[in-house]
Structure 1
Amino acid sequence: MSKDKLTIIPPDKPLTGRAVPPGSKSITNRALLLAGLAKGTSRLTGALKSDDTRYMADALRAMGVIIEEPDDTSFVVTGSGKLLPPQVPLFLGNAGTATRFLTAAAALVDGTVVVDGDQHMRKRPIGPLVDALRSLGIDASTETGCPPVTVKGTGRFEASRIQIDGGLSSQYVSALLMMAAGGDKAVTIELLGEDIGALGYIDLTTAAMRAFGAKVEKTSAVTWRVEPTGYTAADFVVEPDASAATYLWAAEVLTSGKIDLGVANGAFTQPDAKAYDLIAQFPHLPAVIDGSQMQDAVPTLAVLAAFNETPVRFVGIANLRVKECDRIRAVSTGLNNIRQGLAAEEGDDLVVQSDPSLVGQRLPANIDTFADHRIAMSFALAGLKIAGITILDPDCVGKTFPAYWRTLSGLGVTYADEG
Structure 2
Amino acid sequence: MPFDLRSLAVTVVPPAGPLRGRVSPPGSKSITNRALLLAGLARGTSRLTGALKSDDTRLMADALRAMGVRVDEPGDTEFVVTGDGSLRPPAGPLFLGNAGTATRFLTAAVAAVDGTVVVDGDAHMRKRPIRPLVEALAALGLDVAAPSGCPPVTVRGRGRVPAGRVAIDAGLSSQYVSALLMMGALGEGEVEVALTGAEIGARGYVDLTLAAMRSFGAEVVQRDATIWAVRPTGYRAADFHVEPDASAATYLWAAQKLTGGAIDLGTAADAFTQPDARAKAVIDLFPHMPAAIDGSQMQDAVPTLAVLAAFNAEPVRFTGIENLRVKECDRTRALSTELARIRPGLAREEGDDLLVASDPGLAGQALPTRIETYADHRIAMSFALAGLKLRGITVLDPGCVAKTYPGYWDALASLGVGLESADPA
Q: For residues 288-313 of structure 1, what are the alpha-carbon distances to aligned partners after superposition, in whole Å with 9 as ceiling and x for unaligned?
A: 00000000000000000000000000
CA distance in 2, matches of 1:341, 1:236: 47
Gaps spanning 5+ residues in structure 2: where? Answer: none
TM normalised by structure 1 equals 0.99
Residue matched to 1:250: 254
Of 74, 80, 83, which aligns to 1:76? 80
Residue matched to 2:400: 396
Of 43, 48, 54, which aligns to 2:52? 48
Q: For residues 239-296 of structure 1, what are the alpha-carbon distances to aligned partners after superposition, in whole Å with 9 as ceiling and x for unaligned?
A: 0000000000000000000000011111000000000000000000000000000000
CA distance in 2, matches of 1:218, 1:336: 45
Matched, 1:368 2:367: no
Residue matched to 2:420: 416
Q: Which secondary structure does the structure 2 equivalent of 1:340 belong to?
A: coil
CA contact 2:394–2:422 (8 Å) conserved in 1: no
TM normalised by structure 2 equals 0.98
Of 338, 345, 348, which aligns to 2:342? 338
Residue matched to 1:130: 134
Residue matched to 2:106: 102
Count of residues paired in the alignment: 419
Of 3, 14, 29, which aligns to 1:25? 29
Of 224, 228, 234, which aligns to 2:238? 234
Residue matched to 1:309: 313
Q: 23-32 or 134-143: which moved more?
A: 134-143
Of 41, 60, 64, which aligns to 2:64? 60
Q: For residues 336-389 of structure 1, what are the alpha-carbon distances to aligned partners after superposition, in whole Å with 9 as ceiling and x for unaligned?
A: 010000001000000000000000000011100000000000000000000000
Of 195, 198, 205, which aligns to 2:199? 195
**Structure 1 residue 416 displacement after superposition:** 2.3
Q: For residues 5-37 of structure 1, what are the alpha-carbon distances to aligned partners after superposition, in whole Å with 9 as ceiling and x for unaligned?
A: 000000011000000100000000000000000
CA distance in 1, matches of 2:129, 2:332: 17
Matched, 1:168 2:168: no
Q: Which secondary structure does the structure 2 equivalent of 1:76 belong to?
A: strand
CA contact 2:144–2:156 (8 Å) conserved in 1: yes
Aligned-partner residue type, residue 25 of structure 2:
P
Residue matched to 1:355: 359
**Structure 1 residue 157 displacement after superposition:** 2.2
Gaps spanning 5+ residues in structure 1: where? Answer: none
CA distance in 1, matches of 2:322, 2:43: 40
CA distance in 2, matches of 1:246, 1:162: 35
Matched, 1:223 2:227: yes
Residue matched to 2:324: 320
Q: For residues 226-249 of structure 1, what are the alpha-carbon distances to aligned partners after superposition, in whole Å with 9 as ceiling and x for unaligned?
A: 100000000000000000000000
Q: For residues 93-146 of structure 1, what are the alpha-carbon distances to aligned partners after superposition, in whole Å with 9 as ceiling and x for unaligned?
A: 000000000000010100000000000000000000000110011100011000
Aligned-partner residue type, residue 302 of structure 2:
V
CA contact 2:7–2:421 (8 Å) conserved in 1: no
Q: Which secondary structure does the structure 2 equivalent of 1:70 belong to?
A: strand
CA distance in 2, matches of 1:194, 1:230: 28
Q: CA RMSD in A?
A: 0.6
% identical aligned pairs:
70
Q: Which secondary structure does the structure 2 equivalent of 1:43 belong to?
A: strand
Q: Which secondary structure does the structure 2 equivalent of 1:416 belong to?
A: strand
Moved over 4 A (4+): none
